[in-house]
Structures are given as structure tokens and as C-alpha cells.
Chains A and B, each alone.
Chain A
Amino acid sequence: MAVSRVKTSSILQGFPKSRSLLAGNAAYIPTSFESIATATGTGASGTITFSSIPSTYKHLQLRWNARSTFNGQVTSMSLQFNGSATAAYGRHTLTGNTAGTFQAGGNAASQTSLAIGTVPANTGLANAMAVGRLDISDYALTTNNKVVRIFNGFNTNGSSQDDCQFISGLWVNTSAITSITLTVNTAFATTAQFSLYGITG
């Protein structure tokens, strides 16, 4: 009988357990959080694109440690799905900053891209990075618009208006997400790193 599907529960119940599928080894446990691709800034380009994203996962998570070479203390970072610049992105944001200004009212509708945070730039504190993660649920469904959740922040020890944000994002489009393009002003620094992961269902 051909094996068409393997579940962790079936492997671990009543059968010999093997990590390398050789008897006597530790149990083989299929991973549910897989690395799809990584990208590093070049110092010359303000865009990074993850393309040909397979539709075989349930959810996606993008994680970053990012900085720009823009000639300023900070600059914003945004994304587009499937290369679409149609005014179909929305967001709501909770923001806190070191100055003590809490904002719960940040929202935008019908944007041509989704702003996903602020990153330190060339005249900001050297070596300071913005970090964040973006979760995209059911990215491959073709029946729903796409909803995302972002947690980001950057800290420069007070040399700029440091902040952290919790964001809900919407892409009014039912297409499966097959590419993600990230954009900053000028260029991503060579220390900028992005990692895309797939989460199985």
C-alpha cells in the first residue's frame, strides 16, 4: 500500500520509533515549522522578494532583523503581496514609544502597500536593528481575503523615536499568496536578514 500521508500521532502510537527511519533510532517526528527561504540585504537594493512560495503550508511566518541605508535616522518598511500595487491593503495599529505616547487609533484603508514597521537607517544608532514577525493565516486559500498580524519594534537607546507596534493587516484579494515583496527607502543594509517559514496544518 502506498503511503500518501504520515501524521505524527500515527507514527508515535504503537510502531517502532525512528528518527532516520532505521530501527533503534529516536522517533522521527515530522516538523510542522519549516524554513522556506531566507534573504539578506545587499546594501544596493530597496526591495527583497520572496517568490514562488509553495501553497503546501497552512500558514506563513516572516521574521526579520532589518535596517536601511536611507539617509535619515529611521525609515518605514512596507510590503506587497503578489506584486500587487492595487489600493487594497488595510491596517489597524497599536503603537507605543519611549516618549510615552500610546496610540490605539492608527488605521489606514485602501492603501497600495501594507506598512509593517519602522527600521533604523544610516544616521541612526549604528548596529541597531528593527525586528519583527508577520503571520499570514491561510495564505493559500482562494476563497478568503488575506489577514495578517504583525509584531514589530526597534530600539536605538533613545537616539530616535523608538517604538513597537502590534498591527492587523488586510489584503482585499482572494488569490493565494505566492510572493512577498518588502520595500524600504534607498536600500536594505547588508546586515538585514529575512526568513520565511511555512507552518503545516
Chain B
Amino acid sequence: MALTYEAISSQTLGTTAGTITLSSIPSTYTDLKLVMTASSASSADILLNVNSDTATNYSVTYFYGNGTAGFSNGGTNQTRTQITALGTSATPSFYTIDFYSYAGSTFKSYLFTSAEDKNGTGTIQNGVGMWRSTAAITSILLTCSTFAAGTTVTLYGIKAA
């Protein structure tokens, strides 16, 4: 039986890094799901680009809560999708990004979540992003000032019948 939910790649950073790249993504799945547990010495945001595209082809809408109130925001014609700040090594953050019909003929939309809890402060965020391109997504680039060692990223393929 063909696997429907399958790990495509997985990596754990052995040392600090400024970028994480997932490349040579096959087009054989229906959707992709990225799962990441990440931390950093700084509190820089995570930036998402696909297919090395840094043109103003990204837009985003999101809402978040910080334990006190809820907010929403978004942006258009951006050069990447910005996701909320990282946790620290003691309190890593948990991220998911679902890319739908990533190899299809429409613009590419993705839903993302982030959960960051620092035992007293933190944020939780849900959002939707769009990459204005009909090209299949073949690579994903995550950028941060410094991903800490121990950061893990796993990419799954989800295949419909």
C-alpha cells in the first residue's frame, strides 16, 4: 500500500545556522506539511521563501494572541512570509506550515501555525500566506538570524488517492 503521509526529509542542526533549506522536493504528493521545533539565542523572526524567490510575490494574513489579547495583521507584495519570533533553547517554539496543492497550477497558499511559550510570556499564531506563482514548489528556505543547534525540521508529503 502506498504511504499517504510520508516523511520526505528530516534534519537536526548540529551547529547554529542562519538558513535551513529543503530542496529537490518531489512533485508526487498532493500537499506538503513542514513541522519544525526551533530556538535561537536571539528573538528574530523566521522568514519563509520558496524556490529561492525573493521578489515581491508574497502576501500574508494572520492573527495571534499573547496571553493578554488577540490581534491580527497582514501584508501584501512582500519579499517573504514572516512568521513570529523564535523561542529560546530552553523554551523552543513549535511551527507547522501546510502547503496545499504545492505542485498544482494555481497560486500557492499555505496555512501556518506557531506556538511560542516562554513560561510566562509567549505568543500563538495562525496565518495564511500566498506565493503568487503557478510554479510547483521545489524548495523551501527558512531564514533566521541564528537557528540554534538542535533545531529540527521535518517535511512530510501527503498524497491523496
Task: Type the 1/0 row for A135-175, where 1 means its CB is closer than 8 Å to any CB of B.
Answer: 00000000000000001111111100011101000000000
Asked if B63 and A95 make an inter-chain contact with CB atoms under 8 angstroms apart, the answer reads yes
Stretch of B1-9, B14-22, B45-53, B86-94 lying at the A interface? B1-9
Say whether A191 contacts B106, CB under 8 Å.
yes
List, in ascending order, chain B residues with CB within 8 A of A162's CB.
59, 61, 74, 128
Stretch in B34-42, B115-123, B153-161 with 4+ CB within 8 Å of A: B153-161
Q: How far is the CA of A96 from the CA of B74 in the complex (A)?
A: 9
- Assess A34 versus B105: contact at CB under 8 Å? Given A96-B73, A97-B72, A164-B61: no
Task: List the count of A-B residue pairs having beta carbons below 8 Å apart.
Answer: 151
Q: Check A155/B129 contact, CB under 8 A, given A100-B71, A131-B110, A195-B160.
A: yes
Evaluate whether A164 and B76 lie within 8 angstroms (CB atoms) in the complex, with A33-B5, A35-B4, A132-B111 already known. no
Q: Which of B66-119 contact A (CB under 8 A)?
A: 70-77, 98, 100-101, 104-107, 109-111, 113
Does any Cβ of A come within 8 Å of B142's Cβ? no
Choice from A34, A95, A133 contacting B111 with Cβ under 8 Å = A133
Q: Is A38 an interface residue (CB 8 A)?
A: yes
Of listed A63, A99, A100, residue having the most chain B CB within 10 A: A63
Q: Given A97-B72, A153-B61, A129 and B101 touching (CB < 8 A)?
A: yes
Q: In angstroms, how far is the closest chain A Cβ from the Cβ of B53? A: 14
Q: Which residues of chain A are near B100, meaning CB under 8 Å?
A: 63-65, 129, 131
Contact A102 B63 (CB under 8 A): yes
CB distance from B34 to the nearest CB of A (A): 14
B132 engages A157 (CB within 8 Å): yes
Asked whether A157 lies within 8 Å of B109 as measured between CB atoms, the reply is no
A195 near B30 (CB under 8 angstroms)?
yes
Flag A33-61 by CB within 8 Å of B: 1 or 0 each: 11111100000000000000000000000
> Cβ of A102 and Cβ of B111 under 8 Å apart?
no
Q: Does A127 contact B (CB under 8 A)?
A: yes
A34 touches B4 (CB 8 A): yes
User: A35 to B161, Cβ gap below 8 A?
Assistant: yes
- For residue A98, CB closer than 8 A to chain B, the reply is yes
Does A111 have its Cβ within 8 Å of any Cβ on chain B? Answer: no
User: Which residues in A have their C-beta under 8 angstroms from that of B71?
Assistant: 96, 100, 102
Q: Which residues of A contact B105 (CB under 8 A)?
A: 127, 191
CA distance A176 to B31 in the complex (A): 28
Smallest Cβ distance from A96 to chain B, in angstroms? 3
Give A33 to B6 CA distance when docked, in angstroms. Answer: 9
Give chain B residues whose Cβ lies under 8 Å from the Cβ of A152: 111, 128
Docked Cα-Cα span, A151 to B97, in Å, equals: 12
Contact B126 A155 (CB under 8 A): no
* Minimum distance in angstroms from A121 CB to a CB of chain B: 14
A-B pairs, top 7 by smallest CB distance, nearest first, are A96-B63, A153-B128, A96-B72, A98-B74, A195-B160, A33-B5, A155-B130
What are 24 inter-chain pairs, A to B, with CB distance below 8 A? A31-B4, A35-B159, A36-B161, A65-B101, A94-B70, A96-B61, A96-B73, A97-B74, A98-B72, A102-B63, A127-B106, A129-B101, A129-B107, A131-B100, A131-B109, A131-B110, A131-B111, A132-B111, A153-B127, A158-B76, A163-B61, A164-B126, A191-B106, A193-B30
- Given A155-B60, A155-B129, output 5 extra A-B contacts at Cβ < 8 Å: A34-B4, A63-B100, A96-B64, A100-B72, A155-B74
